[in-house]
Chain A
Amino acid sequence: MQWGSLAEFFAMGGYGLYVWPSFGVTALCMGGEVLAVWRRHAAAAGSRDES
């Protein structure tokens, strides 16, 4: 472990404002995509069963 404390980890040597949004937006996009495909499948398969 190289981080002295949790605060240091979040600070990322002063670059926290750049590092964390990068990973955050990445996680959001990938998670959002999974969710979107999940919902699309539910909609497609669901309405298909009605026909």
Chain B
Amino acid sequence: MSTTGINWFKYSSPQALYPLAGRMIPWFAAFALGLIGVGLYVGFFVAPTDVTQGDAYRIIFVHVPAAWMSMFLYVIMAIWAGLGLGLNARPSFMMAQAIAPTGAMFTFLALFTGSMWGKPTWGAWWVWDARLTSELILLFQYIGIILLRSSIDDLRRADRASAVLALVGVINVPIIYFSVRWWNTLHQGASVSITAAPTMAGTMVTAMLVMMFGFWMYSIAVTLARMRCVIVERERQPSWGKQASMPDVVEAR
């Protein structure tokens, strides 16, 4: 028995993960609330009005964190998918499964708030610029993964198939971004340059970063909570073989 360091394998079973996740969630939820609260305060009451965009720019305090989380979560999901395939570890697949809906939600929010920001600043609800278009395709990829999983009844196949799709998709993300930027330069006349973000005052950057971390803490909390749901739901399904019943797991909250 190793006495140096943490015995990680102790946590490689769902029975151990369930209470561990349960203890972690309140902390991340608290951090999330705190950071988002501070971020909103700085964003609305400390950061000044922008010279060019007026107060419309304040949308970036949710738009940029949401966009960042949508991409970050996709990569993390792909990493868990890869670990699942490589190590044949169920908890890795469960984490990937738990992340997908949150990632899709942030992608939608990035698109919605991006549209809300676009209308007053560039005059159009939607522009086919590289970032928004890539974000739209990212949403399709998230939805594809979620739909593929729900179309497969066999749990093992669902885990592995959606893992393969996530990995294929993560390779596609930079390719899509590059090709869409290329496409934008092809049609220079039609595109609107939105890469000119407002030159940001220090307080603006601070608020944005704080909100970003807040969203990150939120994502961790929600993902862990969803994974607990997945653990309990899978325990009821016979596909993986009935585990020893875990009444002690649920009551150990």
The answer to whether any beta carbons of A and B sit under 8 Å apart in the complex is yes
Which chain A residues have a beta carbon within 8 Å of chain B's beta carbons? Answer: 1-3, 9, 12-15, 18-19, 21-23, 25-26, 29-30, 33-34, 37-38, 40-41, 44-45, 47-49, 51
Of the listed stretches B87-95, B154-162, B222-230, chain A binds B222-230
Contacting B56 at CB < 8 Å: which of A2, A19, A48? A19
* Bound: A9/B105 CA distance, A: 28
B64 to chain A, nearest CB (A): 12
The 8 A CB mask of B62-75 against A (1 = contact, 0 = none) is 11001000000000
Query: In the complex, what residues of B have CB within 8 A of residue A22's CB?
Result: 59, 62-63, 112-113, 116-117
Q: Find chain A residues with CB under 8 A from B222 CB.
A: 33-34, 37
Closest B-chain residue to A15, C-beta based?
A: B56
Closest 7 CB pairs of A and B: A13-B55, A15-B56, A12-B55, A44-B232, A13-B54, A22-B116, A22-B113
Residues of B within 8 Å of A12, CB to CB, are: 54-56, 58
Q: Which of B66, B101, B233, B235 has the most CB of A within 10 A?
A: B233
Enumerate chain B residues within 8 angstroms of A29, measured Cβ to Cβ.
105, 108-109
Which of B54, B117, B233 lies in contact with A14, CB distance below 8 A? B54
Q: Distance (Å) between the CB of A49 and the closest chain B CB? A: 7
With A19-B59, A41-B225, A41-B228 known, 16 other A-B pairs at CB within 8 A are A12-B54, A12-B58, A14-B55, A15-B54, A18-B117, A21-B116, A23-B59, A25-B112, A29-B105, A30-B105, A34-B222, A37-B222, A44-B233, A45-B250, A48-B250, A51-B236
Q: Is the CB of A26 within 8 A of B55?
A: no
Could you say which residues of chain A place their CB within 8 Å of the CB of B44?
9
Report chain A residues within 8 Å CB of B233: 44
Selected from B66, B120, B236, the residue in CB contact (under 8 A) with A48 is B236
Residue of A nearest to B110 (CB): A26
- A17–B232 Cα distance when bound, in Å, is 43
Chain B residues 19 to 52 lying within 8 A of chain A, measured CB to CB, are: 44-45, 48-49
Docked CA distance A51–B246 (Å)? 12
Q: Is the CB of A18 within 8 A of B66?
A: no
Q: How far is the CB of A37 from chain B (nearest CB, A)?
A: 5
Q: How far is the CB of B114 from chain A (nearest CB, A)?
A: 9
- B60 to chain A: closest residue by CB: A22
Q: Which of B212-253 contact A (CB under 8 A)?
A: 218, 222, 225-226, 228-229, 232-233, 235-236, 250
Q: Please tell me which one of the listed residues B49, B59, B218, B229 contacts residue A40 in the complex, with CB atoms under 8 A apart.
A: B229
